[in-house]
Amino acid sequence: MQPSQPWRPVFIVGAPRSGTTLIQQLLSREVAIGPETHFVRNHWLRRRRYGDLRRAINWTRLKRDIVASDPFVDSGLDGSLFDTVERTYPAILRRWIEGYAHHQGLALMGEKTPNHAQSLELLSSWYPGARFVHVVRDPRAVVSSSLQTPWSTNDPAADANVWRSYVCSVRRAQPILGSRCLTIVYEDLVANPDDLLAQLAEFVGVEVSALEPGGAPVGVNLAREPWKAGSSLAVSAASVDKWATALTLNQVRSVEAVAGAEMQLWGYAPLTPLRDRIPAVLRHLGPLLAHQLVTTQRRIRL
């Protein structure tokens, strides 16, 4: 008997506003990638509250929360999807992803939740055959875009720290993931789309000619997430340098103070001299340490 092949979904991750929705839309003709599940944050990290899923009352509570969540409702699926699933978190997420793919009539499938960038080791242990597409973008552009969304902290330094924590998590996971992780640099994608799309197509296992966004975004509820309205547009370099005029000098300095060391590791050069970033680092040190404590506690729970 031939051994069963490992399940090979594609997870798209990256800091918010880095271009993950663009990659989702580029793949949408061939790969079923539904609404962001936020499965780890909303369900796995609350597993102690749910308790032993072998108990009917705990299983019913978890299933009720998933089925009532916005991502599941937006998926267009029915709660009966979970009636026969094994009562484990990896099996539940897999059934959700497979159910959406069946609903879309596609054989290839995946999931896109930006904050799953902080859970790559976990997802890799759940699904040893999984592949990961990581999208990274200049943190100044990310912060500039984030400040236009309702979920921004409205603090450039704090938003920059979100970017820093996400890309740090991916960098730490790289030795474990190896060739199962493809990093797409947003600026390279818009500058040389043919080369990057060819890499993406080969990595996922589709024809490059299928990677074209168009029409209404797939797997996105624009009424709930209007900031994603431009994700189905053709790849364009128009947004690459918008941050340079959208952010003030002090905002740029704050972003670079928080993310400067990490952004250089990813190929982005700070404009602010190091001597001018140090005072800004000291100003933001308290909130950054508090955020780091929360991140460390989260990783312990994982």
Residue 1 lies in a domain: no
Let me know: does 154 contact 147? Beta carbons within 8 Å. Answer: yes
Q: How high does pLDDT run on average in the chain?
A: 89
What's the total number of domains in the chain? 1
Q: For the CA atoms of 211, 105, 93, 226, what is the dihedral angle to 10 degrees?
A: 60
Residue 265 lies in a domain: yes
The pLDDT assigned to 290 comes to 57
Q: Supply the CATH number for residue 167's domain.
A: 3.40.50.300
Residue 120 lies in a domain: yes
The token duo for 272 is 């602010």
pLDDT digits 0-9 by tens, 63-121: 999 999 999 999 999 999 999 999 999 999 999 999 999 999 999 999 999 999 999 99
Please report, for residues 43, 78, 154, 198, the alpha-carbon distance to residue 74 in angstroms, rounded to integers and kept in the order given: 17, 11, 28, 31
The pLDDT assigned to 240 comes to 85
288 has a pLDDT exceeding 70? no
300 has a pLDDT exceeding 60? no
pTM for the whole structure: 0.90
Q: What average pLDDT does range 261-285 have in this prediction?
A: 78
pLDDT digits 0-9 by tens, 142-158: 999 999 999 898 999 99
The pLDDT assigned to 131 comes to 98
- Side by side, the strands of the sheet bearing 181-185 are 31-33, 108-112, 10-13, 131-136, 181-185
The pLDDT assigned to 226 comes to 82
The pLDDT assigned to 229 comes to 78
pLDDT digits 0-9 by tens, 15-56: 999 999 999 999 999 999 999 999 999 999 999 999 999 999
What is the Rg, in whole angstroms, of the alpha carbon atoms belonging to the chain?
20
Q: Is the dihedral of CA 236, 18, 183, 72 positive or negative?
A: negative
Token pair 């928080």: residue = 258
Residue 111 lies in a domain: yes
Residue 168 lies in a domain: yes
The pLDDT assigned to 1 comes to 43
Residue 4 lies in a domain: no
301 has a pLDDT exceeding 70? no
Looking at per-residue confidence, does 295 or 7 come out higher?
7
First to last CA, the chain: 36
162 has a pLDDT exceeding 90? yes
Can you give the residue range of the structural domain that contains 111? Answer: 10-301
The pLDDT assigned to 121 comes to 97
The pLDDT assigned to 246 comes to 95
Neighbour count for residue 88 (Cβ, 10 Å): 12
The token duo for 201 is 């197509």
**Confidence tier at 136 by pLDDT (50, 70, 90):** very high
Residue 5 lies in a domain: no
Residue 3 lies in a domain: no
pLDDT digits 0-9 by tens, 190-242: 999 999 999 999 999 999 988 876 667 788 877 888 878 776 566 667 778 89
